[in-house]
Amino acid sequence: MIATPILLSGVAIGLLIALLQALTQIQEQTIATVLKIIVMVLVAGYTMHWMTDIVVERSIDIYHAIPRIIPQ
């Protein structure tokens, strides 16, 4: 759930670049790789606050569940 925005942006950019490369017959792999990295880093930076909130909420839930899980 947390990695979904980053992965979907990478897939979308990969498909878009592959389509453009097929249309223009430019077969340079570094273009696709560099653009995917840039977009994924930008998406990670944009969604970092949301991802951090989710991780913190899940961690708090786990810590609160410890007394129920461990028998006394």
> Which pLDDT band holds residue 53 (cuts at 50, 70, 90)?
very high
pTM over 0.85, yes/no: no
d(C-alpha 6, C-alpha 3), whole Å = 6
Residue 69 pLDDT: 86
> Which pLDDT band holds residue 5 (cuts at 50, 70, 90)?
very high
d(C-alpha 32, C-alpha 10), whole Å = 10
For 20-52, what is each residue's pLDDT tens digit?
A: 988 998 888 888 899 999 999 999 999 999 999
Residue 56 pLDDT: 96
Count of CA atoms in the C-beta half-sphere (13 A) of 44: 10
